[in-house]
């Protein structure tokens, strides 16, 4: 009895926090998404309607959702393409005494201000900026700049789990594959990649969801680009229920993404 009370005292506050601050807030967003606003006063009218979702599925907003998804997918793919060789180098090639240094090199940018990094990219991709000067051309502000900036910002979230997966992969598994006749390519495809999948899945949950919700970098380097995040921002003061519907859309996308990732079996060994 006493143990049970102790457990309740221990778990009560965090459970309360979880239920009120997370699930409660989420529930309020869902509920709000089915309300509407008075077109004259801009006040929230608490009557049930699916009008917000109908508008969401109209051409304009479907385009925005599609564009946001495209950015999230591109950022995630680029992060994987950069993180896997880099993490491989860190965990398997670099001398052991440099690993800490390399790890710090990946982590330190995380501690720098998000805004500073986003503005750094803004100056780099601007006409006549570093990118222009080095490569003779620049994508300028827009989708490409957003993808580049977000890939840079979220890369550590992909490198760290993949690095850990490389560290965990026993040398003997690679030796066993070679021993059984597998060349480097075969070993990478059949042994290394499958053992990295859970880590890539974990990293992609970060890169995908962070890209899905971002609106600051988009405003700084995206030019006039509209994504889910900026659409929420524009509606949040004038049409809160519609902003809530947009928020609901990204939650639904994320849930679908997680279900898809789970279907691949990548989360089984997480």
Partner 1 sequence: MAADQAPGVPAIRLSRLRKEFAGSPPVVAVDDVDLDVRAGEFFSMLGPSGSGKTTVLRMIAGFEEPTAGAIELAGADVTTRQPYDRDVNTVFQDYALFPHMSVAENVEYGLLVKKVGRAERRSRVAEALEQVRLGDHGSRRPSQLSGGQRQRVALARALVNRPTVLLLDEPLGALDLKLREQMQVELKGIQRDVGITFLFVTHDQEEALTLSDRIAVFNAGRIEQVGTAREVYESPASAFVAGFVGTSNLLTGETARAVMGREGSVAIRPEKLAVVPAEEARAAEGQLSAAGSLEEVVYGGPVTRYVVALDAGGRLTALEQNTGARADGAALRRGDRVALRWRSEHVIDVPGAPTPELQGQGTSPQQFPTT
Residues that bind partner 1 (CB under 8 A): 170, 172-173, 175-183, 186, 190-191, 194-195, 269
Closer residue to partner 1, CB minimum distance, 152 or 166: 166
Closer residue to partner 1, CB minimum distance, 60 or 269: 269
In the chain the beta strands, taken as DSSP E runs, fall at 36-37, 44-45
- Give Cα 241 to chain centroid, integer Å: 25
Rounded to a whole number of angstroms, the minimum distance from the CB of residue 176 to partner 1 is 4
Rounded to a whole number of angstroms, the minimum distance from the CB of residue 262 to partner 1 is 16
Tokens 């659409």 sit on residue = 231
SS3 label, residue 1: coil
Closer residue to partner 1, CB minimum distance, 142 or 182: 182
Among residues 174, 201, 192, 205, the alpha carbon closest in space to that of 269 is found at 201
Judge whether 201 and 264 are in contact, CB under 8 Å: yes
Closer residue to partner 1, CB minimum distance, 45 or 193: 193
Judge whether 213 and 130 are in contact, CB under 8 Å: no
Indicate the DSSP class of residue 192: I
Rounded to a whole number of angstroms, the minimum distance from the CB of residue 30 to partner 1 is 38
Distances (CA, A) of 133 to 103, 130, 223: 30, 5, 20
Closer residue to partner 1, CB minimum distance, 54 or 168: 168
Rounded to a whole number of angstroms, the minimum distance from the CB of residue 211 to partner 1 is 28
Closer residue to partner 1, CB minimum distance, 128 or 170: 170
CA distance 151 to 121: 11
Buried b / exposed e along 79-113 (16+ C-beta atoms within 10 A): bbeebbebbbebbeeeeeeeeeebbeebeeeeeee
Rounded to a whole number of angstroms, the minimum distance from the CB of residue 266 to partner 1 is 10
CA distance 123 to 139: 12
């Amino acid at each position: 009895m006493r143990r049970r009370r102790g457990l309740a005292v221990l778990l009560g506050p965090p459970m309360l926090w979880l239920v009120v601050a997370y699930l409660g807030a989420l529930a309020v967003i869902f509920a709000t998404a089915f309300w509407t606003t008075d077109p004259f006063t801009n006040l929230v009218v608490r009557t049930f309607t699916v009008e917000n979702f109908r508008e969401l599925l109209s051409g304009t907003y479907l385009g925005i959702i599609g564009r946001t998804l495209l950015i999230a997918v591109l950022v995630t793919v680029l992060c994987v393409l950069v993180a896997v060789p880099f993490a491989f180098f860190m965990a398997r090639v670099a001398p052991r005494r440099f690993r800490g240094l390399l790890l710090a090199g990946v982590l330190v940018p995380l501690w720098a201000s998000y805004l500073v990094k986003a503005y750094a990219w803004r100056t780099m991709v601007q006409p006549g900026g570093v990118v222009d000067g080095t490569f003779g051309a620049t994508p300028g502000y827009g989708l490409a700049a957003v993808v580049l900036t977000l890939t840079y910002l979220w890369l550590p979230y992909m490198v760290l789990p993949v690095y850990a997966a490389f560290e965990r992969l026993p040398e003997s598994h690679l030796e066993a594959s070679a021993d059984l006749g597998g060349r480097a390519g075969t070993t990478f495809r059949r042994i290394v990649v499958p053992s990295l999948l859970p880590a890539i899945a974990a990293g992609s949950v970060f890169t995908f969801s962070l890209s899905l919700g971002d609106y600051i970098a988009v405003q700084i380097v995206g030019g006039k680009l509209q994504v889910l995040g900026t659409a929420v921002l524009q509606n949040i003061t004038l049409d809160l229920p519609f902003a809530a519907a947009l928020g609901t859309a990204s939650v639904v996308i994320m849930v679908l993404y997680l279900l898809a990732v789970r279907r691949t079996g990548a989360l089984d060994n997480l």
